[in-house]
Amino acid sequence: MAVTIKDVARLAQVSVATVSRVLNASAPVRDDTRARVLAITRDLRFSPNGAARTLKRRQASALGVVLPDLYGEFFSELLRGIDLEAQNAGHALLVSSSHHDARGVSVAVRAMRGRVDGLLVMAPEVSAKSLAGALPDGLPTVTLNTAPTQGACASVTVDNVGGARAMTHHLASLGHRRIAFLCGPSRNADAAARLRGYRAAMRTAGLPVDDTLVLHGDFTEQGGWQAARLLPETSRRRPTALFAANDAMAVGALLALHEAGMNIPGDMSVVGFDDIPIARYVTPSLTTVRVAIDVLGARAAALLFRVLATPVRGGDAHREVVPAELVVRHSCGPPPSA
Amino acid sequence: MAVTIKDVARLAQVSVATVSRVLNASAPVRDDTRARVLAITRDLRFSPNGAARTLKRRQASALGVVLPDLYGEFFSELLRGIDLEAQNAGHALLVSSSHHDARGVSVAVRAMRGRVDGLLVMAPEVSAKSLAGALPDGLPTVTLNTAPTQGACASVTVDNVGGARAMTHHLASLGHRRIAFLCGPSRNADAAARLRGYRAAMRTAGLPVDDTLVLHGDFTEQGGWQAARLLPETSRRRPTALFAANDAMAVGALLALHEAGMNIPGDMSVVGFDDIPIARYVTPSLTTVRVAIDVLGARAAALLFRVLATPVRGGDAHREVVPAELVVRHSCGPPPSA
DNA sequence: TGCGCCGATGTAAACGTTTTCACGCCGACC
DNA sequence: GGTCGGCGTGAAAACGTTTACATCGGCGCA
């Protein structure tokens, strides 16, 4: 029913081989023959069947992108960065989201076999071990922001530790001594890394890491609101600064503290992580850590292409880290006692 | 090199046909045979080659998504809605963006032939005619928010006219008589429809549509800022309300008017369109028109599946409109004179 | 007992490309 | 003038599946 290379060949009175050669410029063809073939191709609006081409060439010109979710600006930016790089290389993107557990990732990945040349996998909530089990054997893969795999799998991560450390240091140097940290989901690798950075910086600054200073959150605005709501009622040992593990929670916290009649940053400093666009618009504007998410995506795609280009699948497990940079706005200041 | 169905067949001591039957449950197979095949499949971590499967089955279990861009929350939400619906139907998404002109759309679409079952195309800046030329013959397509095609092509659009009309009516009923409209890009179909809605409502309210009331913008925050900057200096015929064709521009305008020392909404009302998340967080929070973008995406995907399911390609050109709803916040009020 | 049917399996032909191999032709070289 | 090599082309074999068709044993039924 659909027009195939055979139809073109028949009408142009050449063999299918010649048509293929014309379309791919893969071998010399006489000028008049080429012209005839191209004319028919245009007339029939022929375009080669991607599946057949992929099958024969053993290369799909597509990258698989497996994401835990598609909600919010983070993924939008990530995808944009990836797309930019993929488009440059003439590759399409086969995306699949809502895969939170290893099983989900596994089925998504299996469905992609034979239709993509490589995989970009982001699964911050899946342990390294089960992820390794879910990934296929033959397919080059780059993991994004995932707990480090022992397997020989390239990866790109954000410098969560460095960013969190820089932020904590900043707060400490403003004079804060009791700095609370609002965690993300417990199994999330990003969240864990940020907590580590906070802890390390607190130690370096000679500040105690009291367990009551570490609050539990879930990366949602709602969660941030709930966690912060209880804060004003804390006794005199109340923290003077709140470091939320992501901006969404920081925004929620801002809201809660505001509702409780607190002055930010006068009574308490509140800071976040990610620098989502909203961070600039809340009042007071949010001090945070900027992650160039599109760069993260682009770097991951670029790395994947490099892996694809190297003929030998070296087990060197290339690892890249994209920097995270402190952005100081108006939601933090010196502690009230100072 | 990669493991194929033949390897499985050989090790399980059956024919490839039987393996296929087991994996697809397409014909009865004896229990012990099935068990043997499944065991080997697991052992070898076999998963069928998608390209081969697609080629033979003549169905890809994938949808093509062609977008003008990937920037910002709009596309993120759109994609999420589409993904939701596609995932339900067991389909993957092949996305391709940065196609602003008909040529770009054309190459993107051609690259997808044979790898997708249907197409979701969003190209608000491409005229109906050239879009029709770019779309392939055999591939079912649903256009999103695109100027109505005369071709028999299903489409889903946002009720831009209705939304703009509702907003204009709201402003008029607050007492505004000079309501300025900040346009989007000139060839953008959404922008054009919103302008039409504004004009219609002005007429209905018996208000004059002065040409000096219609400002040119480009849907960016920057553009909104520039357009609004000149506003305070306007003579006594200055508008008392500014209706921006999208939220990004409204936010820019808010900023510019603020910088010029104007009080919003005391001195001037500012409203937008889209209800992007930021709209809630700017001060004053932005009155706007809410478009459930994820619903738009989901509806489009659902419609495409329905088209795919109908065996006869009827030329009925199903058309769906998703409603747009007025959201009143704090950036608008009665005009200063009132 | 013979006929027909069904259930379980194998064989092989597609699907639409790309690519290897072979072939005929022409000009060049010894 | 025969051999050699490159250029343009066609025939056909892949690529990894699914599936129509064939085969074969066993069972029910007349």
Contact check, Cβ <8 Å, B115/A54: yes
Q: How confident is the model at residue A315 (pLDDT cuts 50, 70, 90)?
A: low
Contact check, Cβ <8 Å, B282/A277: no
Q: Which amino acid is at A39?
A: A
Give me the torsion for CA of B107, B109, B115, B120, rounded to 10°.
150
Average pLDDT, chain B: 90
Contact check, Cβ <8 Å, B110/A47: yes
Out of A93, A97, A138, whose CB is closest to B83?
A97
Task: Say what percent of chain B tops pLDDT 70.
Answer: 95
Q: Is the peptide bond before A265 cis (omega within 30 degrees of 0)?
A: yes
Listed residue (B253, B243, B224) closest to B169, CA to CA:
B243
Q: What is the interface size between A and B, counted as CB pairs within 8 Å?
A: 145
CA of A5: nucleotide with nearest C1': C16
- CB contacts of A283 in chain B (<8 Å) are 283
- For residues A100-116, average pLDDT: 91
- CB contacts of B48 in chain A (<8 Å) are 113-114
Q: Is the pLDDT of residue B96 over 60?
A: yes
- How many angstroms separate the CA of B193 from the C1' of C1? 83
Contact check, Cβ <8 Å, A138/B75: no
Contact check, Cβ <8 Å, B60/A75: no
Q: Which amino acid is at B282?
A: V
Q: Is the pLDDT of residue A17 over 80?
A: yes
Start-to-end CA distance of chain B, whole Å, equals: 79
Best-predicted range by mean pLDDT among A136-145, B8-17, B128-137, B302-311? B8-17
Predicted local distance difference test score (pLDDT) of residue A171? 98
CB atoms within 10 A of CB B206: 8
Listed residue (B109, B147, B107) closest to B125, CA to CA:
B147
Contact check, Cβ <8 Å, A138/B2: yes
Which segments of chain B are extended strands (E)?
62-66, 92-96, 118-122, 141-144, 154-158, 179-182, 214-215, 241-244, 269-271, 288-291, 319-322, 324-327
- CB contacts of B93 in chain A (<8 Å) are 94-96
Contact check, Cβ <8 Å, A112/B92: yes
Q: What residue in B sits closest to A104 (Cα-Cα)?
A: B87
- For residues B329-337, average pLDDT: 92
CA of B15: nucleotide with nearest C1': C10
Predicted local distance difference test score (pLDDT) of residue B152? 60
Q: Which residue is closest, via its CA, to the C1' of C18?
A: A56
Burial code (b: 16+ CB inside 10 Å, e: under 16) for B238-250 equals ebbbbbbbbbbbb
Q: Which nucleotides of D are covered by protein (CB under 7 A)?
A: 7-12, 14-20
- CB contacts of A279 in chain B (<8 Å) are none
CA of B58: nucleotide with nearest C1': C15
Q: Is the pLDDT of residue B338 over 80?
A: no
Distance from CA of B311 to the nearest CA of A (A): 14
Mutate to test the interface with A, among B80, B283, B294 (most CBs of A within 10 A): B80
Q: Is the pLDDT of residue A188 over 60?
A: yes
- How many angstroms separate the CA of B28 from the C1' of D30? 29
Q: How confident is the model at residue A149 (pLDDT cuts 50, 70, 90)?
A: low
For every residue of A73-120, DSSP letters joined together read HHHHHHHHHHHHHHHHTT-EEEEE----SHHHHHHHHHHHTTT-SEEE
Query: How many residues are there in chain B?
Result: 338
Listed residue (B154, B148, B164, B143) closest to B324, CA to CA:
B164
Q: Read off the DSSP letter of residue A126.
A: S
Contact check, Cβ <8 Å, B51/A60: yes
Query: If you compute the radius of gyration of chain B from its CA atoms, what whole number of angstroms results?
Result: 26
For every residue of A23-42, DSSP letters joined together read HHT-S---HHHHHHHHHHHH
Q: What residue in A sits closest to B251 (Cα-Cα)?
A: A281
- Residues A49-67: tens digit of each pLDDT: 999 999 999 999 999 999 9
Beta strand A288-291 with A324-327 is antiparallel
Q: How confident is the model at residue A280 (pLDDT cuts 50, 70, 90)?
A: confident
- How many angstroms separate the CA of B31 from the C1' of D29? 28
Distance from CA of A161 to the nearest CA of B (A): 27
